[in-house]
Amino acid sequence: MIERLKQAFEQAEQRPEAEQELLAQLLLEEMQSEDRWTALFADPRSDALLEKLVAEALAEDDAGETEDITGDSFL
């Protein structure tokens, strides 16, 4: 385990049990999400889907249906 992660766990140990549960849940959900994305991108069908999405986005931009994102304007 890397040192920074050890430090995070050491700090988490000092938190109340309910907060530790929440931190554990967040970490597990994040890792599961990353695993799902990795599997989705590894699927050979993802290339075609991504190409389709890119083409759609470019077509919308060419048609003037998009807005530039500057600063916090997308929030």
CA atoms within 13 A on the CB side of 13: 6
Residue 3, in any domain of the structure: no
Residue 74, in any domain of the structure: no
Tens of pLDDT, residues 21-65:
999 999 999 999 999 999 999 999 999 999 999 999 999 999 999
Identify which has the larger pLDDT, 14 or 69.
14
Question: Is the pLDDT at 74 greater than 70, yes or no?
Answer: no
pLDDT at 70: 82
Residue with tokens 């970490």: 27
* Domain span at 57: 11-62
Q: Is 46 in contact with 40 (CB distance < 8 Å)?
A: yes
pLDDT at 73: 67
**The total number of structural domains that make up the chain:** 1
